[in-house]
Structure 1
């Protein structure tokens, strides 16, 4: 008598368990993928932010250290090179606005240049005048949270996006002994008449985290960028 051949197979319960295990593994792998992708995007964003921070301070350092420069120092001096103009007193080449409670400060510098000096404005424009001419650069944050620079020809350049809390402190010689001794906000420098006695500026700012911000509820990145820049052309 021939035996009936037995065919093995999966029961419905076994199939459901197999599917459940497969889904669990797939969800786990998906979670790992999304976490890895998020970490990659965060690192990429941080890298871009740090690269922009280096660019911001490169531009600011270049301009601040150019402040007060003038050609032909043997036949020229700061009083002749920088007469009184707008907010600048005679001989001064630095001016700012802001105080402890201001949302953002501003910083303006001026200097002289000619084509032979091979200098550029904060917008990248070369100074090609044959004879020495006076130029200025103004740094401030506009209503779109952009850190911008405006040069003497009213050209503007965006230095950084999503900037808040752009603050400037000025290292001043407050007792006239030729040694800087105190950091002051611009309003205090103006009140004390110390714009000709500034030896360095300390600039700081924060960046807005656009992904986490909602409407007017701004969220900031958890770091403040800061740099102290010494003036080269201060007597």
Structure 2
């Protein structure tokens, strides 16, 4: 006798329930993957901005610490000019103001109009300028170096000069093109910490206020000396991460900046004490 075993399978309702549960689980997994991908991209963007910020602050600090340095007793100092007179000029003008140089009165530290990027110009005795140029001096010779920092097309750049050429003491020679330091610089702002005037007879070399470049020449004319530099830099992260809404940023006394791109931005600030200028001011007590 032959018997037929009854075969049972999934019903239509059971299949529909399984499909719905599968879709829910798949959707959850996809959302987790998308979220993880966005988090990873955001972390990369933050890390990139932090790395660029630390780099530029460290580099600017190392270079600006030399501001105002001049040692007439240094054996490697090139003595083709009167180094005593040059020493007085460098030490009294560590930060260059517009009008300090006879050959080009337009050069100097400048305040950007209506919140535009500032220009910073400093001088010191050194072996090379910010882009490692010697300006025809011997390999081991030191000379009066002038470095100019500015932003062009959202790139922070530096251009080096022979300060003796700017002072009209040497013939002009071809200078190297500006050197690009960092991309994606949205704003570059500078303030200057100045001492009290000569009339105050305060030789403590403490900054009594921070000013913009447009009042720098007036303060220097009254006998005030720049002994500190404050930098504020706004960087755009190198990433496709979209931020909505983008927060506004306020750099020093400038109006708040509202970036137009929905990208990640990071603000960095630092204050650099000019030890050479402070020592020069303190020497008045001797």
Q: In 2, distance between residues paired with 1:50 and 1:124? A: 26
SS in 2 for 1:97: coil
Residues 122 and 149, structure 1, Cα contact 8 Å, conserved in 2: yes
User: Is the Cα contact below 8 Å between 2:45 and 2:264 reproduced in 1?
Assistant: no
Once residues 199 and 206 of structure 1 are traced to their aligned partners in structure 2, the CA distance between those partners, rounded to angstroms, is 24
Alpha carbons of structure 1 residues 3 and 14: separation in structure 2 relative to 1, 3 Å: same
Counterpart residue number, 2:195: 173
Where relative contact order (Cα < 8 A, 6+ residues apart) is larger, the structure is 2
Gaps spanning 5+ residues in structure 1: where?
A: 115-119
| C-alpha distance in 1 between matches for 2:179 and 2:197 | 38
- How do 1:205-220 residues align onto structure 2 when only pairs under 5 Å count? 205-208=233-236, 211=240, 212=242, 217-219=260-262
**Structure holding more strand per residue:** 1
Whether 1:98 and 2:120 are equivalent positions in the alignment is no
Give the whole-Å Cα distance in 2 for the aligned partners of 1:192 and 1:81.
17
> Mapping of 1:15-164 within 5 angstroms?
15-73=15-73, 76=84, 78-79=87-88, 87=98, 89=100, 95-98=108-111, 101-114=114-127, 120-124=128-132, 129-142=139-152, 144-152=153-161, 153-164=175-186
Aligned-pair CA distance for 1:207 = 1.8
TM-score normalised by the chain length of structure 2:
0.67
In structure 2, what is the equivalent of residue 8 of structure 1?
8
1:225 matches 2:268: yes
Shift of 1:131: 3.3
Instruction: Point out where structure 2 has 5 or more consecutive residues left out of the alignment.
Output: 75-82, 102-106, 162-174, 244-258, 281-286
Number of residue equivalences = 225
Note the C-alpha offset of 1:63.
1.5
Structure 1 distance, partners of 2:185, 2:33, is 32
User: Which of structure 1's runs of 4+ aligned residues deviate more than 6 A?
Assistant: 82-86
| Of 132-141 and 219-228, the range deviating more from structure 2 | 219-228
